[in-house]
Each structure stands twice: as structure tokens, then as C-alpha cells.
Amino acid sequence: MRISRRNLMISAAAASAASAFARAAFAELPPLAKKDTYKVGFAQTESNNPWRLAQTKSMQDEAAARGWQLVYTDAAGSAAKQVADVNSMIAQGVDLIFLAPREEKPLIPAIMAAKGAGIPVILLDRNVDQSLAQAGVDYVTFIGSDFIEEGRRVAEWMVTNAGGKSKILQLEGTTGSSPANDRKKGFDDYIAAHPEFVLLASQTGDFARDKGRQVAETLLQAHPDADIIYAHNDEMAIGAISAVEAAGKVAGQDVMILSIDGGKEIVQLIIDGKVAAVCECSPLFGPKAFDTAVAYANGEEIPPKLINPDRFFDASNAAEMLATAY
């Protein structure tokens, strides 16, 4: 068939009108229809630690309890794969996507693609760069902990209880992720007002146990006078204990270990005297995540952030709290 120049111009005009309509239709958040049951996506970042496994189980249990279909993906520690996972959920026509964005910037195109396809997104546990995407405009809301406050609380506990220790090594989480950025900020800002504490070195251990161990070993060799290790999560703190022991030192005596997450293993290590204090970061998102989706479908106003309360564990309460740690 011969396509005339006039027909081509008409098609181009129609395509441009359609794309202008799509932009206009989803300049605001896409709605979620009221239904008895939904097909929703959960795009997980990785499954290499108990925190992630507990978060996934909480989402799967909640979907099963409500009779919703859950499309689950595991990005295996790759932001690029997580973007592809979200695109696959869009192609499968899910009603809504729960997204735990591995890093603050690389997942922005995925959020915008879901929005363009008319699928609302709820961010779980990690946030995105607020200069690039906003709650109430590009995604519905962020549900998670206040990571700056977590870092601040650990620093405050340390300043009060250090007992003469003062030379700190910091093991950061995944570079470019909101918990790594914010837990560092909360901690560093607090100790800036306490010059008797010195941050000797701060390096990423990627939220992973073995990476945390390796980085702690290297840092302890470079700074043998370090007497405090602040890890951005339990996994790296547990790795750091191995590094302290490999250096011939006693965790909990020669080196004070501080962490964030609060799983059963680390709470037991507080009871055992190897870890000093841990700020909780609950991974149990299921009920709140699904309740928020229903509230959104019902047309309720959703705040831009829904902050989870976090407990704090040290020797004074660890035995009592052990049973309720995830």
C-alpha cells in the first residue's frame, strides 16, 4: 500500500495528540479503581539478608491474607534489573506497584514509566531523590523509617555511653541509597557538635556481611587505634565483629559495635555482650503497605511520608525485646 505524504502528516498529528493526551491524563497521580481484589507488584532490591527476607515475607503474607495477586521480583542487587522488573510489571498490567528503590536516582525512570502507564507507585522502605520525583505527584507516598533519625539516635547513645572510647570507623550502606545517605547524615551531624569524637574513616560495605567484614578488616589495619565501629546495618556489624576478632581484639570490650536494623541475631549479640546498641528499622511493611493502597483507592488523602516507629535496643532491654525482634 502506498502511504501518501498527507496520510503520514495526519498519522503524526494523531500520534502527537495521543501522547499529549497521555501526558495530560497522568500529569497528576494515576488513580486506583475500587475493587474487591487487586494484582499488585512488589519490586524488591535483593534477598541477601534477613531484613530483606522478612520484608518480602511480610508482603507475601499480607497479599495471601487479602486474596490479592502479588507479582514479586528480586533485582538481585542491580538497579538496572530493578528498572526492568518494574517495566515487566507494567507490561503485565498490575494495578499498583510497591517499589523498594535500591538507589535514590536510577529508579526515577521506572517511577515515571509506571505513572505514564497509569499505574500508581508506593515507595517502600527506601526513598528517591526528591528533586527528581515527588510524593503526591509522581508516586503516592513513601512508607518507611526516618533514616536520619536512626543515625542521630545511634550517635546520641554513643556520646552518652562511650565511656572514654572516641575513635570511630563507619561502615556505610549501599552507595547512593537513601538509608546510607541519611544514616550517615544523622550520625555525622550529631557528632559534629562533639569534637571529642573523631571519625577516623567511613567507607561502604554495601549493607552486606562479608563486604562489611572485609572493609572493617582493612580499616582496622589502617587505624589500629579505632575503638568504635558504627555500621549502617546488622549484617555489616556482624561482619565487623569477625574483623575485630581476626585483629585479636574483643568485640564489646576493645571495640564498641553499634548498628541499625534490630534483627534477632543482633539483639542476641547485645545479650552476649558483643554489640552495644542498635536502632531498630522494622522490615514488616505488609499490613501498612496494603492498607495504604486501599486508602488510596478509597480517595483518602495520603500524606507524602508515612514514617514507621523504630525501637532502640541496648543491654537494658535486649533480653526483654528478643522475642519481638524480627
Which residue stretch of 47-55, 81-89, 242-250, 309-317 sits at the interface with ligand AHR (rule: CB under 6 A)? 47-55
In this structure, what C-alpha cell is assigned to residue 283?
A: 522490615
Binding mask 169-188 for ligand AHR (x = CB under 6 A): ----------x---------
Q: How far is the CB of 86 from ligand AHR (least distance, A)?
A: 17
Which residue stretch of 33-41, 49-57, 75-83, 108-116 sits at the interface with ligand AHR (rule: CB under 6 A)? 49-57
Residues 283-302 that bind ligand AHR (CB under 6 A): none
Contact between 262 and ligand AHR (CB under 6 A)? no
3-state class (DSSP) for residue 272:
coil
Which residue in 284, 316, 314 sits closest to 57, CA to CA? 284
**Distance, CA of 287 to CA of 32 (rounded, Å):** 18
Chosen residue from 52, 66, 153, 213 binding ligand AHR by CB under 6 A: 52
In this structure, what C-alpha cell is assigned to residue 298?
A: 478509597
Contact between 101 and ligand AHR (CB under 6 A)? no
Q: How far is the CB of 253 from ligand AHR (least distance, A)?
A: 26
In this structure, what C-alpha cell is assigned to residue 138?
A: 509522581
Chosen residue from 135, 279, 281, 293 binding ligand AHR by CB under 6 A: 281
**Distance, CA of 147 to CA of 74 (rounded, Å):** 23
What are the CA-CA distances from residue 215 to residues 173, 183, 211 (Å)? 12, 18, 6
What are the CA-CA distances from residue 260 to residues 61, 101, 127, 164, 319 (Å)? 25, 19, 17, 22, 17
Q: How far is the CB of 263 from ligand AHR (least distance, A)?
A: 8
Contact between 197 and ligand AHR (CB under 6 A)? no
8 A C-beta contact, residue 266 and residue 235: no
What does the CA dihedral 210, 156, 228, 236 come to, rounded to 10 degrees? 0
Q: How far is the CB of 144 from ligand AHR (least distance, A)?
A: 7
Binding-site size, ligand AHR (CB under 6 A): 12
Taking each helix axis from N to C terminus, what angle separates 234-246 and 264-271, rounded to the nearest 10 degrees? 40
Contact between 51 and ligand AHR (CB under 6 A)? yes
Question: Of 62 and 206, which CB lies nearer to ligand AHR in the complex structure?
Answer: 206
**Distance, CA of 121 to CA of 112 (rounded, Å):** 9
Q: How far is the CB of 237 from ligand AHR (least distance, A)?
A: 10
**Distance, CA of 278 to CA of 154 (rounded, Å):** 7
- Burial-class residue 210 by CB neighbours within 10 Å (0-12, 13-18, 19+): middle
Contact between 125 and ligand AHR (CB under 6 A)? yes
Residues 10-39 that bind ligand AHR (CB under 6 A): none
Question: Of 100 and 114, which CB lies nearer to ligand AHR in the complex structure?
Answer: 100
| Residue ranges in contact with ligand AHR by CB under 6 A | 49, 51-52, 125-126, 179, 207, 233, 235, 260-261, 281
